[in-house]
């Protein structure tokens, strides 16, 4: 999907640097994908920590799983 957005130069430079992509579109796609993946992880962890799920995992197990997904 094509989208036109205004992004501050310093933010775009930082995204390109952090993603190691040479072009803007792949850099933004990667950054957006990582952002969404991190949000899903945060929501899942909040549900676990609040007891809203029957997922039984220790803190060590949750941290180990998060480290493997990086």
Chain segment 20-66, per-residue pLDDT in tens: 999 999 999 999 999 999 999 999 888 878 877 776 777 888 788 88
Distance CA 18, CA 33 (A): 14
Q: pLDDT at residue 13 above 70?
A: yes
What is the predicted pLDDT for the residue at 61? Answer: 82
Report pLDDT for 4.
94
Which pLDDT belongs to residue 70? 67
Contact (Cβ atoms closer than 8 angstroms) between residue 27 and residue 16: yes
Return phi, psi of residue 40, to 5°. Answer: -60, -40
**Over 80: is that where the pLDDT of 11 sits?**
yes
Exposure letters 46-56 (e unless 16+ CB within 10 A, then b): eebeeeeeeee
**Global confidence as pTM:** 0.68
Contact residues for 22 (Cβ-Cβ < 8 A; gap 6+): 16
> How far, in Å, CA of 44 to CA of 17, rounded?
29
């Amino acid at each position: 999907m094509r989208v036109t957005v205004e992004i501050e130069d310093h933010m775009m430079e930082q995204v390109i640097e952090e993603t190691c992509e040479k072009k803007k579109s792949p850099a933004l796609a990667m950054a957006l994908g990582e952002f969404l993946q991190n949000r899903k992880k945060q929501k899942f962890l909040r549900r676990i920590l609040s007891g809203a799920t029957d997922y039984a995992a220790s803190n060590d197990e949750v941290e180990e799983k998060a480290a493997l997904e990086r």
